[in-house]
Structure 1
C-alpha cells in the first residue's frame, strides 16, 4: 500500500465531479448520471465487487406531494473471511444543480468527499482485509439524507453485522488553521485517547456543533450528513469534515478554491485511523452499539 494518495489523482477526480459538464449533480439530472458513470468506472478499475450483481441501487423517496427516485452506488471490497462484519465508507455525490441560472458545482460539497472515498478505495484495494469494506456514493443527501435513509432501511449487509459507518463530507477547505474535525461514537472504547497520542498529518478535533457567519444558527454534527440516520439507529459512526466557508451552497464552490495540499493531508490523516480501526475485533464495535433514539 502506498504511503500517500497522489494529490494529482485526488484532484483529477474532484475536478471532473465538480466540472460544469456535470451541472451540479442534482439528484435525477443528467449530470448526476455522469457522476455515477464516473464513480462506477473507478469501482471497476479498483476491482470492487458489485453488491447483488450490481453497483447501482435505486430508491424512491417522497418530496412534497410527489415521489422521486435517487440512486446509490455500492462497491464491495471483500474481507478475508466471508463471515466478517462490514465497515461502510460513505460520501454523497449529489449537489444542488443549477439554481437561478447558475451552476452550483459543489466542489467541496461534496466532490471532495467522493474523491477521498475513491482514494481510500484504491489504497485499501490490494488483497483482502479483516473487514468487508463497502464504498457507498449516496444520492439525495442535499434534500434530506434520502440515500442514507434508504440504505439503512434496506439492511443490505444482512446477515453480516454492520460494524461502523465512516462518512466523508466537505474535506477540501479550511479557514485560519488547517485541521480535520470529527464527530462520532464516544462508546468506541479508548479511541479518543488513542487519537490524542498520535502524530497525525493534520490536527484532529472532536466537534459536536458548528457555528459560522456563513450559515444561520448552528449545525448539529450528529445530524449534519449521511451518518445521521445510522447514528440515530445506534450504529457506531465517525464523521470527518474540515470547515464551513463563504462558498458553501453557492456557485463559487468550484474546484479552483480547493486546497490540494489540505486534501492530501486529510488522506494521510485518515490512513492510520482506518488501519487502527480495522485492527480492532468485532466485539469492540458491537460494544459501542446502542439502542436507537
Structure 2
C-alpha cells in the first residue's frame, strides 16, 4: 500500500496534464508534447520505482502508470484490459530462476484503411532493479523508449493510422527478451499479419547528436522511408549496427540486442532506433537528470514522423 500511495503521488506530480506543450518543432516535423514526454520518463525512472526489475514492486508501479497512460491516450485493449501476463524461466550460467508473474501491457489503435494489417510499436519497461544496494533507475534504458512509444500513440490517436498499430510495453527484456517472446507466441491478433516491428530502446541522449536505425540491411525498402523521416530532423540518423563487421566486437551487431530480435527470428521485418552505449549504460547513474531534453524531444519527433511514414508505406516493405 505504501508503494501504491507513492505511485499515486508520482502521477499527481508528473502527470502529463500538469504540463503545457513546449518546444517548437522544425518545419515538416511531427507535433510533440515534449513536457509530457519528459514527465513520462521522469515518472518511470523515479527512485520510488527502484529500477523496475521484473516481478518487483517497482515493476508493478510501472505497470499501473503505463496502463493509465494507455487509457488516457485512448489506446484500446484487445480484451478486458491491457495486461498480458506470462511466466518464464531465466537461465544465467548454472543459475535457474523462475518468474511466474511477468507482465506485458498491450493495446492498439485500429487501422482506418487496412485494419487487418499490423505494425507493432514496442519498448521494454523493465530494467535491472536494485543490485548491491544501488537502484539502477534505467532512464535512458528504457524509460525513454516507453515515453517515445506513448508519444507515437498520442499522434496516431489524433491522426488515425491506415493500418492497425499495436503498442507493446514489454517486460523482461533485460532477462532475455521474454516479453517479446510471450507476445509473438500468444498474440491476441494474427501474428502472421504483422508487417513490421518498430522498436525503441535507449533514445534520449547522445553526445554526437545522432541515433541509429538498425534493420535496413534485412529490409532495404526501409531505407528511403527512414531517409524521409530524417529529412525533417535536426538529429543525425545513421544506418547500421545490423551486420557482423570483421574485427568488430560481437555486440556491434544489434540484430539480437533488444526485443526486435524475436520478431526478426519470426521472419517479421524490424526497424530499431537506439543510441550507442554511453558511460551510464547499465549503471545506477542512468537517471532522469542525465537525459538531454532537447535531443530527446527531437528524437521523439523523428520517431513519430518515422511511424507515420511507415504506416503509410507498409505495403512497400519487401
Structure 1-normalised TM-score?
0.89
Q: 1:53 maps to what in 2?
A: 80
Q: 1:6 maps to what in 2?
A: 33
Q: 1:291 maps to what in 2?
A: none
Q: State yes or no: 1:178 paired with 2:178.
A: no
Residues 85-112 of structure 1: CA distance to partner in whole angstroms, max 9, x if unpaired?
Answer: 1110000000011011011100000011
Q: State yes or no: 1:115 paired with 2:147.
A: yes
Does structure 2 conserve the Cα–Cα contact (< 8 Å) formed by 1:209 and 1:218?
Answer: no
Q: 1:271 maps to what in 2?
A: 304
Partner residue of 1:154 out of 166, 186, 197:
186
1:163-242 equivalent positions in 2, closer than 5 A = 163-175=195-207, 177-186=208-217, 188=219, 190-196=221-227, 199-201=231-233, 202-208=235-241, 218-242=251-275
Residues 107-136 of structure 1: CA distance to partner in whole angstroms, max 9, x if unpaired?
Answer: 000011011111111111125321111111
Partner residue of 1:24 out of 30, 51, 74:
51
Counterparts of 1:270 and 1:234 in 2: how far apart (Å)?
A: 23
Residues 55-109 of structure 1: CA distance to partner in whole angstroms, max 9, x if unpaired?
Answer: 0001111124443131000021111257431110000000011011011100000
Partner secondary structure for residue 31 of structure 2: coil
Counterparts of 1:196 and 1:54 in 2: how far apart (Å)?
A: 37
Range 21-30 or range 82-91, more displaced: 82-91
Does structure 2 conserve the Cα–Cα contact (< 8 Å) formed by 1:4 and 1:267?
Answer: no
Per the alignment, do residues 96 and 113 of structure 1 end up closer, same or farther by CA in structure 2, a change over 3 Å counting?
A: same
Partner secondary structure for residue 125 of structure 1: helix
In the TM superposition, residue 190 of structure 1 has moved relative to its aligned partner by: 3.8
Unmatched tracts of structure 1, length 5 or more: 289-293
1:133-144 equivalent positions in 2, closer than 5 A = 133-144=165-176
Q: 1:259 maps to what in 2?
A: 292
Per the alignment, do residues 222 and 19 of structure 1 end up closer, same or farther by CA in structure 2, a change over 3 Å counting?
A: same
Counterparts of 1:178 and 1:195 in 2: how far apart (Å)?
A: 17
Range 143-152 or range 57-66, more displaced: 57-66
Question: Over the residues paired in the alignment, what is the CA RMSD in angstroms?
Answer: 2.3
The aligned length equals 280
Q: 2:22 maps to what in 1?
A: none
Per the alignment, do residues 127 and 273 of structure 1 end up closer, same or farther by CA in structure 2, a change over 3 Å counting?
A: closer
Range 229-238 or range 270-279, more displaced: 270-279
Of Structure 1 and Structure 2, the greater helix share is in 2
Q: State yes or no: 1:84 paired with 2:139.
A: no
Partner secondary structure for residue 41 of structure 1: helix
In the TM superposition, residue 3 of structure 1 has moved relative to its aligned partner by: 3.8
Counterparts of 1:31 and 1:159 in 2: how far apart (Å)?
A: 30
Does structure 2 conserve the Cα–Cα contact (< 8 Å) formed by 1:83 and 1:160?
Answer: no
Q: 1:103 maps to what in 2?
A: 135
